[in-house]
Amino acid sequence: MGFVSQPLRQFRPPRPAGEYSPALPPPVNGRSMMKALVLRQHQKAALGRVLVAEGLASEDQVQDTLARQYRMQRADLSGQVVNPRLLARKPAQFWLRHSALPWMQFGQTVTVAIAHPDQFEMLRGELQDSFGCITPVLACEAQITALLTAHFSPALVRQACCSVASRQSCRSLQPARGRALLTVCALPALYLGWTAPAAVFTALSLLALLSVLLFTMLKLCGLAAYWSGRTRCRPPAQMPLACQTGLGNRPVISILVPLYQEAEISRALLTRIRKLSYPPALTDVILVLEEHDAVTRAALAATRLPPWIRVVEVPAFGGLTTKPRALNYALNFCRGDIIGVWDAEDAPQADQLDQVAQAFARAGRNTACFQGVLDYYNPATNWISRCFTLEYASWFRIVLHGISRLGLVVPLGGTTMFIRRKVLEELGGWDAHNVTEDADLGVRLYRAGYRTGMLPSTTFEEANCRPWPWVKQRSRWLKGFMVTYLVHMRQPLRLLGDLGWKRFLGFQAFFLGTIGQFLFAPVLWSFWLIALGLPHPSAGTASPLLLSLAAAALVFFELLGLVISATAAFAMGRPWLAAWAPAMILYYPMGAIAVTKAAHELLVRPFFWDKTAHGIKPASKCRGAWLWGWRFIPARWRPASAGS
């Protein structure tokens, strides 16, 4: 006995050739079709997607043309409900990936609504084990996705919160246990500090110097690798993209752009995205919104989006509102084989996706990810933004390039990272509870046997130029580093086996060095007393020679920072910023406040995401000030964009 899953069905029969009714959409005209055919020769995309993405035809026109071409009936799914029993035979990811929906069943025949009839035979082969006879009907992809989302969203949002294996996720951390352990350790520490303060201060000084030594070694190795790479490998003349990757072999790239309370930035972001040179039919941009974010939703409602930009809303669940949770949920809706991430305030270079396609085409199988260069478009705002720009340039243009060349673990940035989708899904996506999901993902990539390469393309962001927002942002990063270190060091021998000795030591140098140089900053400042001829608190327990060596090491560390900052200023084409390198000595003390806030939140609110406000200084307003600053720089040092 057969059954029909719904009592009402709405079909649109295909229109016979040559027949036109005012109630139906006009057919795709010949000129648009010819233009789409020419474009399709240079990109591996369905003709219908080329027509829609290039604005040559509406989706309804394309669907009507496909219905006639494949002699299929069209189904109107608006107002329909799904059949849970039919959907349960395959996971949500399967239906979303194929843009297909088992619509109704009569006897042994299942009618499946599909959006891409050219892929039906492949879909039929994958459904043979689940269904008997299958009959296709053509439906709008947006309607299919909407019905699938309405049915599967509760399960998808639960998966988004716990997609990473428990042993590699921070969701199993217990802050209460950490507070109890800290209380137990604090009692003997206070006793020792009262009875032997000089010895305790000496021990803290040794820990502080060790953290500085670790990070100094990492920066030295990075700088040396950077300079050796510059002298040994001069970049060859750029070949046309057609010769590098083959125009017909470029992949579909999905870009996830998480937005939260972004009333000021959304319009500017869309303007920048529209400047991309990558074919629109191969570009899949998803704006990720939280369900309760009325501010961003209202801003986007007033903006007309091109067909290749979509909006995905993440349902609220469990009180967790983090960027990685939103990314995990939106990953299910991506069309591309390569997944990228941009932040709300990002201004990527127009050819960035072309460079991504080229990089993956040249890379080996074990290179699963590429990290782009991050820079700031508002260095002229004030001294904090200048120092922040120098810090980012030092890290992304000098140290991180060196780390990558040495084969060490590359801690990813939260934006302008591009990863193979299969690898990302294999790793479980992002850790939804980690507030530095980028660095954690970078470690898990290397633990799984993959590696990260550097992408020679720059994305410009907005530098925090106010003290307290800077502290809030930096405290989130430092808290995330603490959490990531604790998670991966649960089983240090297993981590050593996964990474090997060289990468294991690099892992220690980065995380312990980054956290320690801020955590022990007040102890390190005490060594300036020696330079001023004043007694050091450890003078009673440490020899004068040892204290002098420690002070000299700190001076070397500061000089190395100056050299790297100046090198980075020239590397990014802003040599005038090199004059601000000495100001970094006054810039980094803010990190001591940030690490205190981070340590407190680690014990109280480890999963709290302290949101960074964007749109304070739009890029368009920064350009004039930036160009004005070049008037004081010799013409031979100015980039072409600065004019004369």
> Which of these three, 129, 161, 193, is where a domain ends?
161
Res 33: pLDDT = 78
Give the pLDDT confidence of 522-576 residue by residue, as tens digits.
Answer: 999 988 888 777 888 888 788 888 888 888 888 899 999 999 999 999 999 999 9
Clarify whether residues 209 and 157 are in a common domain: no
Res 637: pLDDT = 46
CATH of residue 555's domain is 3.90.550.10
Res 26: pLDDT = 65
* Residue 169: closest CA among 342, 289, 328: 328
Res 176: pLDDT = 78
From residue 45, alpha-carbon distances to 53, 247, 248, 267, 406 in Å are 10, 11, 9, 28, 38
Res 643: pLDDT = 41
CATH of residue 70's domain is 3.30.300.160
CA distance 507 to 514: 11
Strand ordering across the sheet containing 109-114: 11-12, 74-75, 133-138, 109-114, 100-106
Clarify whether residues 268 and 339 are in a common domain: yes
Give the pLDDT confidence of 248-273 residue by residue, as tens digits.
Answer: 689 999 999 999 888 776 678 888 89
Mean pLDDT of the 64-78 span: 88
Clarify whether residues 321 and 445 are in a common domain: yes
Q: Is residue 185 part of a domain?
A: no
CA atoms within 13 A on the CB side of 507: 26
Give the pLDDT confidence of 571-613 residue by residue, as tens digits.
Answer: 999 999 999 999 999 999 999 999 999 999 999 999 988 777 6
Clarify whether residues 434 and 551 are in a common domain: yes
Number of structural domains in the chain? 2
The percentage of residues in the chain with a pLDDT greater than 90, rounded to a whole number, is: 52
Q: Is residue 5 part of a domain?
A: no
Q: Is residue 238 part of a domain?
A: no
Clarify whether residues 208 and 116 are in a common domain: no
Neighbours of 392 (CB within 10 A): 20
Instruction: Please classify residue 366 by burial: count the beta carbons closer than 10 Å to its beta carbon, then call 0-12 exposed, 13-18 middle and 19+ buried.
Output: exposed
Q: Which is higher by pLDDT, 186 or 444? A: 444
User: Could you list the residue range(s) of the whole structural domain that residue 302 is in?
Assistant: 201-230+258-644
Give the pLDDT confidence of 132-177 residue by residue, as tens digits.
Answer: 788 999 999 999 999 999 999 999 999 999 999 999 999 988 887 8
CA distance 330 to 625: 38
CA distance 426 to 495: 18
- The model's confidence at residue 644, banded by pLDDT at 50, 70 and 90, is very low
Instruction: Please classify residue 88 by burial: count the beta carbons closer than 10 Å to its beta carbon, then call 0-12 exposed, 13-18 middle and 19+ buried.
Output: exposed
Q: Is residue 93 part of a domain?
A: yes
Q: Is residue 4 part of a domain?
A: no
Clarify whether residues 360 and 501 are in a common domain: yes
Res 248: pLDDT = 62
* Residue 351: partners with Cβ closer than 8 Å, 6 or more residues away: 277, 278, 457
From residue 568, alpha-carbon distances to 393, 562, 590 in Å are 5, 10, 21
- The model's confidence at residue 230, banded by pLDDT at 50, 70 and 90, is low
Res 622: pLDDT = 52
Q: Is residue 81 part of a domain?
A: yes
Instruction: Check pLDDT > 70 for residue 632.
Output: no
- The model's confidence at residue 636, banded by pLDDT at 50, 70 and 90, is very low
Res 231: pLDDT = 57
Clarify whether residues 151 and 275 are in a common domain: no
Res 5: pLDDT = 37
Clarify whether residues 127 and 219 are in a common domain: no
Buried b / exposed e across 333-349, counting CB within 10 Å, b at 16+?
bbbbebbbbbbbbbbbb
> Which of these three, 135, 161, 187, is where a domain ends?
161
Res 491: pLDDT = 94
Mean pLDDT of the 198-213 span: 88
Q: Is residue 175 part of a domain?
A: no
Instruction: Check pLDDT > 80 for residue 191.
Output: no
Mean pLDDT of the 315-326 span: 91
**CB of 265 closer than 8 Å to CB of 236:** no
> Which of these three, 141, 161, 181, is where a domain ends?
161
Clarify whether residues 147 and 225 are in a common domain: no
pTM score: 0.89
Res 170: pLDDT = 93
Clarify whether residues 431 and 285 are in a common domain: yes
Give the pLDDT confidence of 393-409 residue by residue, as tens digits.
Answer: 999 999 998 899 889 99
- The model's confidence at residue 417, banded by pLDDT at 50, 70 and 90, is very high
Clarify whether residues 357 and 449 are in a common domain: yes
Clarify whether residues 407 and 512 are in a common domain: yes
Give the pLDDT confidence of 464-516 residue by residue, as tens digits.
Answer: 889 999 999 999 999 999 999 999 999 999 999 999 999 999 999 999 999 99
- The model's confidence at residue 189, banded by pLDDT at 50, 70 and 90, is confident
Tell me the backbone φ, ψ of residue 361, rounded to 5 degrees: -65, -30
**CB of 371 closer than 8 Å to CB of 459:** no
CA atoms within 13 A on the CB side of 168: 22
Q: Is residue 241 part of a domain?
A: no
- The model's confidence at residue 447, banded by pLDDT at 50, 70 and 90, is very high
